[in-house]
Structure 1
Amino acid sequence: MWIMRFAATKEYMMTVTSEHPAWSAISTGQKQEFRRDVRRKRLVSHLLVVPLLLFIAVLFIGPILVMLSRSVENPELRAGLPVLAQSLEDWPGEALPDAKIFRALANDLSNADLRPERAAAARRLNYEVPGYRTLIMGSARKIGRMQDEIAADPKATLIGLDPRWGEMPYWHALRRAASPVTAYYLLAALDLKVDDSGSVVRTEPEQRIFVDILLRSLWVSVVVTTVCLLIAFPVANFMVVAGPRMRVVVLLSILLPFWTSLLVRTSAWIVVLQREGLINDILTGLSLVSDPLELIFNRFGVYVAMVHILLPFMVLPLYSVMQGIPPSYMRAAASLGARPVQAFWRVYLPMTLPGIGAGCLLTFILAVGYYITPALVGGAQDQMIGYFIAFFTDTRLNWGMASALSFILLSCILALYIGLGRYVGIGRLVGIDK
């Protein structure tokens, strides 16, 4: 009896708070026992979540942070020309360095043990000033035979070896590359750079490509997401109102692309859309066109292939939300005098916003980072930012630039998410808030 009374008291206490008038009627011992029980349950719930948090931190957040850190890391010069990098810390950069710094450069260039690291440093400096790699590697090959001249006058010897050692832009590039962290990659991803005076300026017109690539990627993703929404909304609504057999047929048709390789699906569109493909054969056979249309290796082919691949990611969230909307709501709106279009806009469409929001976010995020599909069915002017991230990672081995482009892309996605959360309400879009 006492246990039942105590349990009933605890259940009653769970319904009140310290601000509730009934809280004062509970004894001090019961209040303390209640607080201990709440703390114990809260601790247990937190401990149950710890493995999941560790899993996410180690396998998801950790690799992302490591990747993003590459966009500001600058270790090449300190590893390949260590003595010079340390000497440049005290150089103000207003005039050519003194003989001490030239001697440090000569020692690093003549050190055979630093050959692999020196090649990486030369490649890094070549990003700053084209031709720097040739200057570093050529000077390193020649300087071994000039040790006596270096000991007597290192400054004159190196300038005589290559006049570029007497030009300030090359030394300013060395000074910028000697810092352990750099904004070079992030600025380059936005078509910016630091000039010799230390000011941030735009790059030369022929080198301004990354902002256009980013805008192109965002635009293609917006178009693909919009087309997917326009197609998926009536399809999802049809699945809700259709009979069980037809619903299964449509659902299998939507899920079928998931059972096929992405590369195979993309390659199939090359066969269908090419000049001698199925679409052009039908159009020319019906005399709708006189010459085959260019449907592949351009922006149209990118749109078609990406919409086909990403359409299920829009249909399924919409279907899951529409399935939970009672049909009686539309009948109630009609009974109150609302026309069908008015009932759709004021009753049905607002209730589908969670599905629209989830589908659009998922489709846009997947589309903006696409790589294989634009690379196969698009032209040179249709490649998206994912292609260049892969290019700098695999071909150029420029992890810093790849990480900077990834950081810019991630920032755009986060900005979109925060903007929707502020002006639309993420909780409402994903179905948390009503």
Structure 2
Amino acid sequence: MDASESLAVAHHRSSRRKRMVSVLLLLPLVSYTAVFFLLPIGMMLYRAVSNPELIDAFPRTVQALNHRSFDRDADLPEETVFKALEQDFIKATSLGVIGDAARRLNYENSGYRSLIMTTARYYRKRTQTILQAGSARERLEAVDNRWTTPVLWRDFQRASPAYTPYYLLAALDLKQTPEGIERVPAHQRVNLDLTLRTLKIASIVSLSCLILGFPLAALMVKASRTIQIVLLLAVMLPFWTSLLARTSAWIVVLQEKGLLNTLLMRLGVIDQPIALIFNSIGVYIVMVHILLPFTVLPLYNVMKGIPSHYMRASESMGGHPIRGFFYVYLPLTLTGIGSGTLLTFIVAAGYYVTPTLVGSAREQMLGYYIAFYTNTTVNWGMASALGIVLIAGVLMVYLLAARLVGIRQIAGLR
């Protein structure tokens, strides 16, 4: 092996060693991203389509129904299905499993929960004697005659697959019927309006933060060192204060007899208190104050890197300052505008605490209902479906911003 070949082999080994070191350095970040980002999103996607309740509570019945399909004019299932249902009720491990299945079946038609729970209690008390007379169908009909209605069994079969589009459709105000996918009745169409309201509030807050944050960031760049530090501390102060404390403080300021209304009345600006809390005005004021740093800091970081002689060069060439601002300065700040506004929008779209405390029922956002389905009704499927809708809405806004501004500008790459 000559000297050139030895040098090539040594270079290859050195490059491979460097690549291995780079991979090992990136491994913690990749692992963190997989565990705390990709895995939760994957679980949310799974929860949105998972449908195990009836399979866990009525495995024999579901298996028996798999051999029979129902159409609009279908008769009742065979006796074997009723016998399987009786066995499932008798051998149920607990009423909790039956209760989960009853809640899931109740989504198909209100009233099924009471039917399931009543039948379950009946069979738990008479496990040895009820199978001695009559058929399973007759015994179930004696408990409740709804067991002999074809619509119940069609709903049961529709709710029995291991995976279902029910939650995703419900999140879009749709439902699955024997005729196909249809919109839910008008009085039940709330989720799409809720999604649009969330995107609207997040958009208004993001635009307001941009209008307020742009001149503030420019002032921070132009001001003296002392003023810069003071303004930067003022911008950073919300990050150092508890979210709950900040929101509670705004309630004190904005309430009917709060500091702002009292001051305006003493100055003679108003004759009676203005409703500034528990409405959209309060939500916008508090959210803009809390989220303003997410817009100001990216803008400030970009603006301080713009050479000041660019504007002087524009003026020296006869350009009006306003024209120079729109044709020279503003395009150079697009990176800060895109990243700051998008970051503010993403955080605002997922807000939960602030609208809950300072808004009315008309200002509640998707985050509130996701928490409601998670903590109150324990409906993980619906909570996950609404979460997917929220992610999809944010992703659409991101793609729109990327098309208008550019992905490289949003990412801070030039």
TM-score class, shorter-chain normalisation, is over 0.9
CA 150–204 in structure 1, closer or farther in 2 if over 3 Å, else same:
farther
1:166 matched residue in structure 2: 148
Match of 1:93 in 2: 70
For 1:70, what is the secondary structure of its paired residue?
helix
Cα distance in structure 2, aligned partners of 1:331 and 1:151: 100
Structure 1 residues 105-124: Cα deviation after superposition (integer angstroms, max 9, x where no partner): 12112225242211111111
Aligned to 1:278: 259
2:98 to 109, 113, 118: 118
Q: Are positions 1:410 and 2:372 aligned together?
A: no
| Secondary structure, counterpart of 1:293 in structure 2 | coil
Q: Where do residues 20-419 of structure 1 align in structure 2 (5 Å cutoff)?
A: 34=11, 37-94=14-71, 95=74, 96-143=76-123, 144-145=125-126, 147-148=129-130, 152-197=134-179, 199-419=180-400
Given that residues 98 and 120 in structure 2 are in contact (C-alpha distance below 8 angstroms), is that contact kept between their aligned partners in structure 1? no
CA–CA distance in structure 1, aligned partners of residues 303 and 364 of structure 2: 36
Could you say what secondary structure the match of 1:396 adopts? coil
What amino acid maps onto 2:148 in structure 1?
A: G
- Structure 2 CA distance, aligned partners of 1:410 and 1:151? 56
Contact 2:62–2:160 at 8 Å: present in 1 too?
Answer: yes
Q: Per-residue displacement from partner, 1:298-324 (whole Å, max 9, x unpaired)?
A: 000000000000001111110010000
CA contact (8 A) 1:150 1:157 kept: no
Structure 1 counterpart SS, 2:221: helix
Query: SS at the partner of 2:238?
Result: helix
- Equivalent residue letter for 1:47: L
- Give 2:256's aligned amino acid: R
1:213 shift after superposition: 0.6
Query: How far off its partner does 1:203 sit?
Result: 1.0
Report the alpha carbon displacement of residue 90 of structure 1 after superposing the two structures with TM: 1.2
TM value normalised by structure 1: 0.89
Name the CA distance, whole Å, in 2 between partners of 1:373 and 1:91: 51
- Any stretches of 5+ residues in structure 1 without a counterpart? 1-5, 7-26
1:161 Cα deviation (Å)?
A: 2.2
Task: State the identity %.
Answer: 49
Tell me the SS of whatever aligns to 1:152: coil
Matched length: 407
Q: CA deviation at 1:191?
A: 0.7
Q: Aligned partners of 1:169 and 1:292: how far apart in 2?
A: 56
- Where do 5+ consecutive residues of structure 2 fail to align? none
Distance verdict in 2 for CA 1:60–1:429, change over 3 Å: closer
8 Å CA contact 1:169, 1:196 repeated in 2? no
